Structure 1
């Protein structure tokens, strides 16, 4: 299959345009949520007979759930401004993490065996709080985000924090491509309301439950990292890129092998491209994932 290259969709999603967030907050957070709920519930194909909760936390969860299941479709300017305002307000509440403030692997583990460890960072936390130039999203072959309401996957978290423009961009790309995304490939979009500027979306291999990991699946996972690095290297202002632990969640890729492949693939690519990227972050969310990466760095 012929997958769509960057030059074929770059201008379609205005990748070179800076996202401008709303400059002023005109309404309270709760009023914003109320107005957004009312708007979404009046859209065609919206779920019927939905009871709006009385408390803010459940209203906000309902709003996220409605956006999760919403098909790609542009919002009018006023509604989109309300959505961006809400997400920007929530972003200000987060402890945004600056990549430049994180220690590198070479600083933490001076005797590690990796030649590019002065560029490598291991960090545990919420990737939607990380201010890298680009972050990596573990997508599925449809590349439109997670449609399961409030699902705990990284695809859902990233789309929910970025805003509905992200799904619209992904739909433009996939419509232009005209076929599902191949495993191991990647696409890039703007990050909208995230601290990062870009999102790389890649489809990792699925390891069916009860099966043995194959060499092909290992190569496909390695291809995810290479595809993201190659694609990001086409964008001049990407100097830092943060990888999630691709395929180790619902796709069931064994965590120890995934960590080994991730680190060795990135290190080898950086060795061959010495002038590309200043920082590459391995982002993990659980203690177990963190320990698996530590084992590789401390071997």
Structure 2
């Protein structure tokens, strides 16, 4: 335990030295883990030192082992409820924002934050390189692929879903949501991936109605012509989403 505390302290102290937060390093491991995640969340995509990467990766590996890795090897379409960062698949799909840099709100519960927190600071830096080269925000309905870094998944596919402020999507917005699934599957096929896990794109803070989103997701995935992708997992967190997908699959 002492070695683990010393290691996480090293990661925290390096990140604290990089920024002006006023935060102090607490005493217990759970509180240190919350602080480390918060620092990962707010850290700008500046190139990290190797010491920071080593310390962070060691702690995230321990957290990954404690959560437990889940692997679904059977071909076909599956429904799984739980933390998507536990899934050992070729790719998990992240519901990203148009900047593609992850969520900067400390400890926020959105899937974008959860994935970036478990993958580590390298993911934001990699996404930043993509966006700098692209020179503009990612379009709604499109997707980009990155390594998974500290995740069990080999890759993360980041797709930007439509935002529905009033909760009533237009036909164009319905098509944009379908495009998120098609764009993600195209990348999976381009990379010859065999397994992919989808989160419930746009249904959280983006306010796409859950039932309609589930129908679009399942219909689009079932209709997509797949060659390499053999295993598709619809990952849900809420009981209501589980019930919806269970009826549709």
> TM-score, normalised on structure 1?
0.80
Identify unmatched segments of 5+ residues in structure 1. Answer: 1-24, 103-117
* Partner in structure 2 of residue 17 of structure 1: none
* Partner in structure 1 of residue 109 of structure 2: 152
Which one of 212, 215, 237 corresponds to residue 285 of structure 1?
A: 237
Which structure 2 residues correspond to residues 105-254 of structure 1 after superposition, within 5 A?
A: 119-209=76-166, 211-236=167-192, 238-254=193-209
The separation in 2 between residues aligned to 1:279 and 1:55, in whole angstroms, is 40
Which one of 223, 226, 241 corresponds to residue 268 of structure 1?
A: 223
Counting matched residue pairs gives: 249
For residues 114-153 of structure 1, the C-alpha deviation after alignment (integer angstroms, 9 at most, x for no partner) is: xxxx621111111000011100000000000000000000
> How far apart are residue 191 of structure 1 and its match?
0.1
Are 1:28 and 2:3 matched, yes or no?
yes
The separation in 2 between residues aligned to 1:207 and 1:217, in whole angstroms, is 8
- Aligned to 1:37, the other structure's residue is in SS state helix
Query: Could you tell me whether the CA contact under 8 Å between 2:168 and 2:209 is conserved in 1?
Result: no
Which one of 55, 58, 65 corresponds to residue 85 of structure 1?
A: 58
Q: Which runs of 4+ in 1 moved over 6 A?
A: none
Are 1:37 and 2:31 matched, yes or no?
no
Identify unmatched segments of 5+ residues in structure 2. Answer: none
The structure having more radius of gyration, on CA atoms, is 1
Are 1:94 and 2:67 matched, yes or no?
yes
Aligned alpha-carbon RMSD (Å): 1.5
